Copies of this chain bind each other. A is one copy, B any other.
């Protein structure tokens, strides 16, 4: 992709009303746009990152047998009344709207009710279980305050997976698989080292749930690390008396044992003895944009964003320096060669000063910067800089290609 053709531009300052570090950097880099407090658009660079995170999550959900679906955002009132989650006293972050005939509809803040209702037509026997379904779907949550950039928003894509099993034993088998899949996801996106499996409250569903908490100054949770080697922690909300240090953390995923709360009397199956039993459920959430915001919060430095390779919008950032004909020609050739070799490249082909290109490259945070200048022509070697470590190296074209293909 040629930077000269992007409709976005970097900016020196974030909007004055934007207080979160992740949104400040992402707005300055041209990744996102703020529609209003807690509502953001994804611009081309930002959408590339978001989609990479989504695909990492999707791969892991498929690996544990999840079947992908896509439910509606508009919700029937009666489904939520039967579980007593319709009233604004019970659920304080509904967005609601109306059909023309005045009938009230909800905008989904989660999907347990419609998913278990939809499954009533498909589940009748123990032979239909176990299975799991998931989606990447927009959730709407009427947050009172939304000051954490893309880490807490009023509208966001969520990966929510729901598991359907015969009983708690079968449920826990799947639950452990899901836990491992979550750890794989957080490791792949570069947050493994600072993420803790945290025992938290199960709310109205069960005694405990598990959260995946990443150490982060901008986090809204407080955790106690109980086992550094096993990466285990407790959420302060449990009120347990623990002698470890308090750490600020952000919840980047959670897994819940729901039990039969959403199925009892509705979603049932006949067991081997022909007896009707409620399906045993679990739910498993990750917000890809919260993950993206967390990566920016914990991995950025004073110059800008530092994307791990797995989620970076591009693998390499070619900067042509100067407007010499030979330099422009070599930069073009190098860009085309790398793209042909399957490397995702952003090519800064703009006619601007070198200092501006360097500053923008640091801000945007692509893993490897490749400079093409008069010096490149003289030496026949390409100078690269690693965005994360600052390490500078020189490569012949062949070695550059194989380095970037790894």
Q: Are B41 and A73 in contact, with the CB atoms below 8 A?
A: no
**Nearest CB of B to A121, in Å:** 8
Which of A65, A105, A128, A131 has the most chain B CB atoms closer than 10 A to its own CB? A105
In the complex the two chains form, is B155's CB within 8 Å of A39's CB?
no
Q: Please, what's the 1-or-0 string for A283-312, where 1 marks a CB less than 8 Å from any CB in chain B?
A: 000000000000000000000000000000
- Contact yes or no, B74 A155, CB < 8 A: yes
Q: How far is A384 from B75 in the complex, measured between Cα atoms in Å?
A: 43
Contact check: which of B67, B98, B138 meets A138 at CB < 8 Å?
B138
Q: Is the CB of B65 within 8 A of A5?
A: yes
- Chain A 65-94 near chain B by CB (<8 Å), digits 1 or 0: 101111111111000000000000000000
CA distance A33 to B118 in the complex (A): 7
Q: How many copies does the complex hold?
A: 2
Check A9 for interface membership: any CB of B closer than 8 A. yes
Closest CB of chain B to A27's CB: distance in Å? 10
- Is there an interface contact between A74 and B35, defined as CB atoms closer than 8 Å? yes
What number of A residues sit within 8 Å (CB to CB) of B? 52
Q: How far is the CB of A86 from chain B (nearest CB, A)?
A: 15
The 0/1 profile, CB within 8 Å of B marked 1, for residues 1-44 of chain A is 00001111101000000000000000000000101100111111
Query: Residues 116-153 of chain A: 1 if any B CB is under 8 Å from the residue's CB, otherwise 0?
Result: 00110111000010010100001010101000000000
Q: Which of B7, B43, B99, B128 contacts A131 (CB 8 A)?
A: B7
> A25 to chain B: closest CB distance in Å?
16
A47 CB-CB contact with B under 8 Å: yes
Closest B residue by C-beta to A95 = B97
Quick check: is A222 within 8 A (CB to CB) of the other chain?
no
Q: Is A154 on the interface with B (CB-CB < 8 A)?
A: yes
CB distance from A168 to the nearest CB of B (A): 20
**Bound complex: CA A393 to CA B105 (Å):** 52
Contact A67 B6 (CB under 8 A): yes
Interface CB pairs A-B, < 8 A, 24: A5-B65, A7-B67, A7-B123, A7-B128, A7-B131, A9-B122, A35-B114, A35-B118, A40-B72, A41-B72, A42-B71, A43-B69, A44-B67, A47-B68, A50-B70, A72-B155, A73-B73, A73-B138, A74-B154, A74-B155, A95-B97, A95-B105, A99-B142, A100-B144
Name A's B-contacting residues (CB within 8 A): 5-9, 11, 33, 35-36, 39-44, 47, 50, 65, 67-76, 95-100, 105, 107, 114, 118-119, 121-123, 128, 131, 133, 138, 140, 142, 144, 154-155, 164
